[in-house]
Amino acid sequence: MQFPISFTDRMQRLLGSDYHHFMKALQHAPPISIRLNPAKTNARPNISKVPWAEYGYYLPERPSFTLDPLLHAGTYYVQEASSMFLEQALKQVVNLEQPLQVLDLCGAPGGKSTHLASLISSDSLQVSNEVIRSRASVLAENVAKWGSGNVLVTSNDPRDFGRLSDFFDVMVVDAPCSGEGMFRKDPQAVNEWSDESVNLCAQRQQRILMDVWDALKPGGILIYSTCTWNEQENEENIAWLAEQEQAESLKLTLQPEWGVKPSQLKGIEGYRFYPHQVQGEGFFVAIVRKAGAAEEAASHGKKKKYKLTLAGKKEQALVQDWLNNPEQFAWIQHGDIISAIPAHLFEAADKVFQNLYVIYAGTEIAEVKGKKLKPLQGLALSQHLNKAAFETAELDLEQALRYLRKEDINLGIEGNDWLLLQYKNTPLGWAKQVGNRMNNYYTKEWRIRMELPQELPLFDLLNS
């Protein structure tokens, strides 16, 4: 693979004697890694672990993930190992046991958002944002599959977050970048790279940081990352932000065996991931704390006007047994859709709804159809689902894949009720029995589009 001369010259200056090892590593295939959803599996595979992530694992080879129903069920997420270092940044500088309001600003397709959802407490509210609407839909899909229930997915420009002044305790900005760390994974990234694109990315990253800065509480934490190596998009940008806003650079403790390379520039502590030193792709992360201390929100005696509308008592009575601990949820209705969000997060969630465009909230429970309710996919994949409230049917691998392709399947049973379909005791979605026929209610936009091979692979990723 041929790389631009200005890129190789710069990397040679950055790496010195390590440069040839770096270039050699770029000629090899990237490692394959997954991160388990601890709320959906207690499996601990006997394979290599990602050392900085509790539930991260390396696979010996890349399987056909599309043909594993457990991926579609949100039991694990296919995520590049270096980006899982977010876990260390959070655990070392944030008290994750306390209630937090967290923003993942550039969230699609969902790797960091689902990771955040597993790290923060159930008392916390997470906002996962993606400005590009089509990518925001993918983000919402992956958030729904993860099923944590305390995440709002928004689709807004970074400048819109200025309306939420001093709102977030933690912000994660995985900024759009020139993509140098993706060169061996995506040859197209090499063709699109130029010195001009680096300059443009650096300027855009500065705009993004300034657009969202006011939404971070005084004393709040910003975790900034890119998948690139040049200093212009990394240390120099954070040094610029720190100088503009008197932000404090925070230092992490590294284990030598991780191979993560610390960097320092203009008082900024950064952490770099090079493919010849870590088992992962190119990555950079830095953490800063906003000046000042968070203040308690003043409580005004005025009656508040809410944008969110609670579902009627009749509708709530019909759905409340569908979740475990239903008394802990606020049941909201928007149009024909009933959703559940943790009750103690109602006011914070309402403030997000008042200021941003929300495309998915908490857990989508049901669609109101006249006097009847249709259970929705978000409910089937929720970590809070009360399976005892529904009839269930276990599918084998072929049946599960045909269901996920939205094909009709025949289980040889009869009835006239909703069925929760499962694979390896893990919910996949809904079907409706009508006599001896079964109607497939899997979400059309999520369906598997590839043709099934004649011989299906035997998946056992989680029991290796």
Catalytic positions: 227
Instruction: Report yes or no: 170 and 223 within 8 Å, Cβ to Cβ.
Output: yes
HEC string of the chain? CCCCHHHHHHHHHHHHHHHHHHHHHCCCCCCEEEEECCCCCCCCCCCCECCCCCCEEEECCCCCHHHCHHHHCCCEEECCCHHHHHHHHHHHHCCCCCCCEEEECCCCCCHHHHHHHHHCCCCCEEEEECCCHHHHHHHHHHHHHHCCCCEEEECCCHHHHHHCCCCEEEEEEECCCCCHHHCCCCHHHHHHCCHHHHHHHHHHHHHHHHHHHCCEEEEEEEEEEECCCCCCCCHHHHHHHHHHHCCEEECCCCCHHHCCEEEEECCEEEEEECCCCCCCCCEEEEEEECCCCCCCCCCCCCCCCCCCCECCHHHHHHHHHHECCHHHEEEEEECCEEEEEEHHHHHHHHHHHHHCCEEEECEEEEEEECCEEEECHHHHCCCCECHHHCEEEEECHHHHHHHHCCCCCCCCCCECCEEEEEECCEEEEEEEEEECEEEECCCHHHCCCCCCCCCCCCCCHHHC
Instruction: Report yes or no: 212 and 158 within 8 Å, Cβ to Cβ.
Output: yes
The vertex-463 CA angle with 459 and 464, nearest 5°, equals 85
